[in-house]
């Protein structure tokens, strides 16, 4: 009872903080917009604000903030599932190379279908790039899993080394694509590979929201199975859980989530590493609590990182992937220090 009450307080506090942060995020940018003006524009059908202020809020900053929250939530939930699946807090789409594979798939789509992107930019952004990113992420995930898994269990060391190798290969391939790309392709690839939410649109928001709802619905249905996996694969099998089928389902759906986020915002790392760890510190390892809390914290951290990206080098804009890396890389080193000597 006390634990449930404590979790409710944690959820309520972070939900309120996210709501305030999302409104405040709309005020951040080159144009000076106050907190009260943001509330007026968002809550009142008619207001006395200048038309250009309403335009900036509804067509630029609100879509960006919503996409930011959705991307953060997807990455955090996928990270929580991957850590539960591999039973290690170091497992994260970026660390084990899944994001790199998805990025390579997306980069191939950007360069290979550049002409299609000029004629049909929305179709390119919402269909072609996500599909290529999904297949890139899915193939990488399957490869890493097969390399790291044997009859003795899952080796986190091999997973991390495989992730390093795949990231290096993907980086080399993306470098080659940069070399053969024309000026416009090169600019698109450069901004996209560093992670940016500047190209937010309602189409990308719809794609991300649909993906988050489907992933969260399925992952939450499997929360008890994920809890059983924490005990070990053999124990989960004894409890009647179809472990191999569950693994395939979780791996493919995680690849879908990573593929969508990479396609709409570029490569953004470490959200899936940091957030689930914080969620377990706050509410424990039960995935019925961890998954919704991770979604909430992921949206909050991404919103904060995007605000920092907009003001750090104003009037220019820092890619948000750089901000998350600055936060996440030291945290990863901290986790490595904690896990020293514990690798399987």
pLDDT of residue 49: 82
Instruction: Find the angle CA(91)-CA(92)-CA(98) to the nearest 5 degrees.
Output: 115
Identify which has the larger pLDDT, 102 or 70: 70
Tell me what pLDDT residue 179 has: 87
Report the candidate in 201, 336, 323, 307 with the shortest Cα–Cα distance to residue 270: 323
What is the C-alpha to C-alpha distance for residues 328 and 125, in angstroms, rounded to an integer?
27
Q: Element (H or E) spanning 154, and its range?
A: strand 153-154
Q: Give mean pLDDT, residues 5-27.
A: 88
Per-residue pLDDT band for 5 (boundaries 50, 70, 90) equals low
Identify the helix (H) or strand (E) that includes residue 28: none
Average pLDDT over residues 155-175: 83
Average pLDDT of 286-299? 94
Q: What is the pLDDT of residue 153?
A: 64
- Sorting pLDDT into bands at 50, 70 and 90, what band is 154? low
**Residue 14 contacts residue 297 (beta carbons within 8 Å):** yes
Q: How far is CA 79 from the centre of its chain?
A: 8
- Tens digits of per-residue pLDDT, 41-82? 888 767 778 888 888 888 889 999 999 999 999 999 999 998
CA distance 335 to 322: 20
**Would you state the pLDDT for residue 16?**
94
- Note the pLDDT of residue 291: 95
Q: What is the mean pLDDT of residues 309-325?
A: 84
| Torsion, CA 90, CA 92, CA 95, CA 97, rounded to 10 | 140
Q: How far apart (Å, rounded) are the C-alpha atoms in residues 172 and 339?
A: 30
Of all residues in the chain, the percent with pLDDT exceeding 90 is 25
Task: Specify the pLDDT at position 342.
Answer: 56
Lowest mean pLDDT, pick from 70-84, 119-133, 213-227: 119-133
pLDDT digits (tens, 9 = 90+) for 185-205: 787 777 777 777 877 888 889
Band (1; pLDDT cuts 50, 70, 90): very low
Would you give the DSSP letter of residue 46? S
Q: What is the mean pLDDT of residues 151-161?
A: 72
Position 339 scores a pLDDT of 66
């Amino acid at each position: 009872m006390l634990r449930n009450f404590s979790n409710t307080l944690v959820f309520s506090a972070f939900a309120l903080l996210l709501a305030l942060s999302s409104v405040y995020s709309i005020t951040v940018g080159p144009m000076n917009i106050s907190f009260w003006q943001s509330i007026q524009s968002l809550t009142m059908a008619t207001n006395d604000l200048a038309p250009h202020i309403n335009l900036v809020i509804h067509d630029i900053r609100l879509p960006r903030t919503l996409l930011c929250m959705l991307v953060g939530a997807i990455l955090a939930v996928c990270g929580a599932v991957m850590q539960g699946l591999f039973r290690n807090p170091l497992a994260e789409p970026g660390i084990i190379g899944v994001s790199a594979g998805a990025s390579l798939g997306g980069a191939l789509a950007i360069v290979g279908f550049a002409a299609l992107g000029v004629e049909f930019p929305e179709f390119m952004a919402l269909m072609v790039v996500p599909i290529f990113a999904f297949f890139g992420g899915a193939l990488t995930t399957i490869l890493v899993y097969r390399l790291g898994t044997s009859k003795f269990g899952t080796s986190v060391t091999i997973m991390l080394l495989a992730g390093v190798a795949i990231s290096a290969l993907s980086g080399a391939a993306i470098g080659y694509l940069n070399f053969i790309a024309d000026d416009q392709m090169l600019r698109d690839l450069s901004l996209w590979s560093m992670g940016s939410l500047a190209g937010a649109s309602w189409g990308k928001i719809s794609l991300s929201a649909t993906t988050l709802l489907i992933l969260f619905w399925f992952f939450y249905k499997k929360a008890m199975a994920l809890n059983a996996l924490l005990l070990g694969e053999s124990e989960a099998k004894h409890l009647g859980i179809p472990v191999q089928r569950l693994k395939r389902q979780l791996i493919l759906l995680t690849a879908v989530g990573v593929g969508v986020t990479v396609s709409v915002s570029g490569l953004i790392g470490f959200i899936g590493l940091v957030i689930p760890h914080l969620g377990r510190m706050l509410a424990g390892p039960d995935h019925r609590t961890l998954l919704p809390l991770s979604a909430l914290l992921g949206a909050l951290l991404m919103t904060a990182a995007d605000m920092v990206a907009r003001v750090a080098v104003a009037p220019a804009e820092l890619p948000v992937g750089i901000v998350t890396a600055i936060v996440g890389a030291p945290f990863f080193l901290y986790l490595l220090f904690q896990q020293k000597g514990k690798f399987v």
